[in-house]
Amino acid sequence: MKKINLPEAAAKIEALWSPRVVGQVGDTFVKVARIQGEFLWHTHEDEDEMFIVLKGNLCIKFRDHEVWLEQGDSLLIPRGTEHFPVAPEEVHILLIEPTSTVNTGQVEDERTQKEYIFYRE
């Protein structure tokens, strides 16, 4: 057992939009990531996903509205909900999602992670 400082772990990630697994609770991954700019419209058909902002301001767009998250805020996105994360400036986030979750949902592009990447200090 080793403690992990989540903001520090997120800050150490080199690549944007490339989450790192920092822990696993049952069938759920806890991940940190650095993000900036626009991601893509996508849906996780079978998985709920929770965003928690560690640093910065994040906008999650939906087809009919958007939600702005500030440091310390969280948002649960229910399975089957199309969404579009946007970070005008660099944001550090904590993600809580089932181990089966693909970061780009049903869309496959150059940012799709085909393998889990575990955080290493």
Provide mean pLDDT across the span 74-94: 98
What domains, with CATH codes, occur in the chain?
6-98 (2.60.120.10)
DSSP symbols for 52-102: EEEES-EEEE-SS-EEEE-TT-EEEE-TT--BEEEEEEEEEEEEEEETT--
Element (H, E) at 12: helix 6-12
* Amino acid sitting at position 85: P
Provide mean pLDDT across the span 113-117: 84
User: What pTM value is reported for the model?
Assistant: 0.93
Q: Distance between CA 56 and CA 10 in Å, rounded?
A: 12
Confidence check: pLDDT of 113 > 90: no
- List the one residue out of 95, 90, 121 whose CA is nearest residue 9: 121
pLDDT in tens, 10-68: 999 999 999 999 999 999 999 999 999 999 999 999 999 999 999 999 999 999 999 99
User: To the nearest whole number, what is the mean pLDDT of the chain?
Assistant: 95
Q: How many CA atoms within 13 Å lie on the side-chain side of 36?
A: 11
Confidence check: pLDDT of 121 > 80: no
For the chain, what percent of residues have pLDDT higher than 90? 83
For the chain, how big is the Rg over CA atoms in Å?
13
Q: Distance between CA 88 and CA 90 in Å, rounded?
A: 7
